[in-house]
Structure 1
Amino acid sequence: MKPVWREGNDVELLINGEAFYPAVFEAIRQARQEVLLETFIIFDDDVGQELKSALIEAANNGAHVEVMVDGYGTAEIGDDYLAELASAGVTVHMFDPRPRILGYRTNLFRRLHRKIVVIDGTEAFVGGINFSCDHLAAFGPKTKQDYAVRVRGPIVADIHETSSKLFEQAPGNEARLKVAPPHQQRRSGTASIQLAVRDNDHHKSDIEKEYLKAIRSASRRIVIANAYFYPGYRLLRELRRAARRGVKVTLILQGEPDMPWVRAAGQLLYGYLIKDGIVIHEYCRRPLHGKVALVDSEWSTVGSSNLDPLSLSLNLEANLNIRDAAFNQQLYKHLEELAAAQCQEITHEKAQRGYWWRAPLSYLGYHFTRHFPSLVGFLPAHTPRLKPALPLEAEREGDLTTLELEQEKAQ
């Protein structure tokens, strides 16, 4: 199914863990029918402990609770943590788990990177925030700047359907609890919202295509705040074309990165973009982890997808595209203040420093990156493998049953 716009939704912007965690934990605790949660990372820290408590409370209230985590991002979750969830009836799945080689995790690509929570089929949370303390200011200088949205209305049925389909791929996960008849949700607001996902099946480029449509339609302004900015040629070309036709194009990128090599790669593009009038700010207060953008005075997007090869060509991602003037203005005002008070603008002179050695690196690095997804395409991850995340003792006892279920499914 192609991305479809749904009318009559309510949307709330949640900035950082301070806004996101209280809202999502309270919603989980109030669940009475179903909780579906997908995330890249759960850490066994204070945030992870509060999540566990909320999930257990929902299960004790009679809700059917299922959690899916990435086999790379959440590889270190402890046995005690999983045992408490299992004893309460919470099912935890590991996405695409891989054996370690010499103690190192091996499933580096094709990650479950999207962050989705659906409560009773009536409200959902989508964004880029994981369940870990590094999204809270108290964590310190390495606290991440990030975003999510809470939505109610007809769009929730699309989010629920998308999440359910992934959970149904788990061995033995037969009939799912359907709490939201497709697209029959009562309207609860004025926002038009579209769910865009990226997977390795029928939606390989949906998120990128929606970005391109929005950029091509721009007449006044484009603001992109993205943690890992290294997009394909088409997106770069459309941004430059927009700037040439008089659109004010502003990029807010990492200035205090959690992975310095990513910033270095992105900086190779600065001179190429600035010469066409694109304004680039580096966010310097702390690591930028956000994946948000807006075009003109109505269109916005919030989600998990970076603008880099991993997100646009390999990972499972989810973004919500939003048409709502009030939401657009709220996000614009926030990003404008961020750029003015906590960012450093990159000048043409600064971008040109070291150009003589940056230029060949930029050319080689960019074209390697463009073909990178094809180079790793041989990895066995087009069909995701889901495995129950169990404490070691329970996993040993259940190995035979799991194997039998996988064999049965293969037949």
Structure 2
Amino acid sequence: MASVLFELTEGHQVQLLQGAQELFPALIAAMDAALSDIQFETYIFDFTGTATEVAQALMRAARRGVRTHLVVDGVGTGRLPQDWADRLRAAGVHCRVYSPLGPLGLLLPRRWRRLHRKLCVVDGRVLFCGGINVLDDFHDPNHGRLVAPRFDFAVQATGALVGVASDAMEQLWWRMQAVRDASQRRLPEALQALRAASAAHHAPPDVDSGPGMRAALLLRDNVRHRSRIEKAYRRAIAAAREEIIIANAYFVPGRKLRVALQMAARRGVRVRLLLQGRYEYFMQYHAARPVYGALLKAGVEIHEYAPSFLHAKVAVIDAHGARPWATVGSSNLDPLSLLLAREANVVVEDAAFAQDLRARLEHAMLHGGRVLDPTRYALRSWHERALDRVAFVLMRLALWVTGNRY
């Protein structure tokens, strides 16, 4: 009998949000209505364009006495701009940087373990989770102004999964405090922070949510939940009967995941991948391509998204079938997400939700995707093949340094 990977529970309400253009207004409205508590984690917190409106909402909440905790990643965000750090502090927003790089930066493999999840819990009652950073849809820190919005998703959810997220964020906050206290030789304070982390437990809100949707929050860390998200993907792919659609920004699946997709295609399931079609980073672009050949040979369709940067990390399986399955989250299907980073994905088993996500992905493939032709892929130039191979070997070498197999 198969072990229980995670349990989906009833009574959730989950709304799909596309891009910062849909997420930010919902997020700001929830913050402006906050009465007691805002917990916020993000990989990137940028202060350009509409992203500043999120910062303003955090400050408004803190000024009226709402406990406001913000955690950003030490690579994705780094040090907050000094003027914004001062403004946030003056308003009463408590900010922390997860794993600052230090003088040796990413030369230390332990610094490759990043906080990549994007979570916000307001008053312990509503959760925002997905792949969207606090970053204007039309702005890229490395490429400047975008002509089309970044393609990405998040969800707004209520129900029991909110407490799971809140507990995880509270525990991380106090563990970071303990590390800071210990580094300053304040051992009594460090022990007190560790006790606070252990005691973090969210009481479910006393509201009647009705029957609602079946859903769960999947968290990935480097202690207890090392492979939960990947296993959820593999299990859902193995159970697929009609169709699999995956949209993923940085797609370098390991052997087990590749085999699962190949087997699904060979047993007659239509498998479509919507992947990054624009050059963003050397490793992201070239390390992915060596795995395309076996997938194409098995009958997997690959669509490369071209209008803007694809940043989505979502999937939908059998949306019109008897057991629809969908996931929206922060986890890429690559080694950084599946082996090293803290990630968070919401899984939903609901026909209306799955069909909504499927329709949006179909629209993106139809209007923004370029079908990768297997013949054209096989005839790509020696220069492209060399770059692909170099990137793939470098990725494998980096994994060897961390002691991980993939």
Shorter-chain-normalised TM-score: which range? 0.7 to 0.9
Alpha-carbon separation, structure 2, partners of 1:195 and 1:59 = 27
For residue 178 of structure 1, report the CA deviation from its aligned partner.
7.0
- Cα deviation code 1:148-175 (max 9, x no counterpart): 0000112211111121111121325574
- Cα deviation code 1:216-275 (max 9, x no counterpart): 000100000000000100000000000000000000001113224422221222221111
Contact in 1 for aligned 2:286/2:391 (Cα 8 Å): no
2:119 is the alignment partner of 1:141:
no
Aligned to 2:116: 113
2:352 is the alignment partner of 1:326:
yes
Contact in 2 for aligned 1:128/1:290 (Cα 8 Å): yes
For residue 186 of structure 1, report the CA deviation from its aligned partner.
3.7
- Cα deviation code 1:53-108 (max 9, x no counterpart): 11111122321110100011111421221122222221101101121359999986
Alpha-carbon separation, structure 2, partners of 1:125 and 1:148 = 7
The correspondence of residues 83-98 of structure 1 with structure 2, limited to 5 A, is 83-98=86-101
2:265 is the alignment partner of 1:243:
yes
Contact in 2 for aligned 1:196/1:207 (Cα 8 Å): yes
Contact in 2 for aligned 1:153/1:185 (Cα 8 Å): no
Contact in 2 for aligned 1:154/1:186 (Cα 8 Å): no
Q: Give the aligned residue type for 1:335.
A: L
Q: TM-score, normalised by structure 2?
A: 0.85
Over the residues paired in the alignment, what is the CA RMSD in angstroms? 2.9
Q: Give the aligned residue type for 1:165.
A: Q
Aligned to 2:362: 336
Secondary structure, aligned partner of 1:192: strand
Aligned CA distance change for structure 1 residues 250 and 102 (closer, same or farther; 3 Å): closer
Contact in 1 for aligned 2:327/2:348 (Cα 8 Å): yes
Aligned to 1:59: 62
After the TM superposition, which of the residue ranges 1-10 and 183-192 deviates more from structure 2? 183-192
Q: TM-score, normalised by structure 1?
A: 0.84
Aligned CA distance change for structure 1 residues 291 and 374 (closer, same or farther; 3 Å): same
2:33 is the alignment partner of 1:30:
yes
The correspondence of residues 274-285 of structure 1 with structure 2, limited to 5 A, is 274-285=296-307
Aligned CA distance change for structure 1 residues 63 and 241 (closer, same or farther; 3 Å): same
For residue 185 of structure 1, report the CA deviation from its aligned partner.
5.8
The correspondence of residues 141-180 of structure 1 with structure 2, limited to 5 A, is 141=147, 143-171=149-177, 173=193, 175=196, 180=202
After the TM superposition, which of the residue ranges 227-236 and 256-265 deviates more from structure 2? 256-265
Alpha-carbon separation, structure 2, partners of 1:269 and 1:313 = 18
2:264 is the alignment partner of 1:264:
no
For residue 3 of structure 1, report the CA deviation from its aligned partner.
3.1
Alpha-carbon separation, structure 1, partners of 2:112 and 2:65 = 36
For residue 341 of structure 1, report the CA deviation from its aligned partner.
1.2
Alpha-carbon separation, structure 1, partners of 2:395 and 2:325 = 29
Aligned to 1:190: 212
Secondary structure, aligned partner of 1:169: helix
Unaligned runs of 5+ in 1: 379-411
Contact in 1 for aligned 2:218/2:229 (Cα 8 Å): yes
For residue 340 of structure 1, report the CA deviation from its aligned partner.
1.0
Alpha-carbon separation, structure 2, partners of 1:350 and 1:181 = 56
Aligned to 1:78: 81
Alpha-carbon separation, structure 2, partners of 1:105 and 1:81 = 29
Aligned to 1:8: 11
Aligned CA distance change for structure 1 residues 187 and 135 (closer, same or farther; 3 Å): farther
Aligned CA distance change for structure 1 residues 61 and 4 (closer, same or farther; 3 Å): farther
Residue of structure 2 aligned with 1:299, choices 307, 315, 325: 325
Alpha-carbon separation, structure 2, partners of 1:58 and 1:102 = 34
Aligned to 1:349: 375
- Cα deviation code 1:17-60 (max 9, x no counterpart): 11011110111111111000000011122334222211111122
Alpha-carbon separation, structure 2, partners of 1:84 and 1:53 = 10
Secondary structure, aligned partner of 1:272: helix
Contact in 1 for aligned 2:5/2:232 (Cα 8 Å): no
Contact in 2 for aligned 1:196/1:320 (Cα 8 Å): yes
Alpha-carbon separation, structure 1, partners of 2:105 and 2:16 = 43
What is the number of equivalent residue pairs in this alignment?
378
Aligned to 1:20: 23
Alpha-carbon separation, structure 2, partners of 1:336 and 1:295 = 13
Alpha-carbon separation, structure 2, partners of 1:271 and 1:324 = 33
Residue of structure 2 aligned with 1:210, choices 232, 254, 261: 232
Alpha-carbon separation, structure 2, partners of 1:142 and 1:310 = 27
Alpha-carbon separation, structure 2, partners of 1:213 and 1:230 = 18
- Cα deviation code 1:319-362 (max 9, x no counterpart): 11111100000011111111111111011111111487877886
Contact in 1 for aligned 2:106/2:112 (Cα 8 Å): no
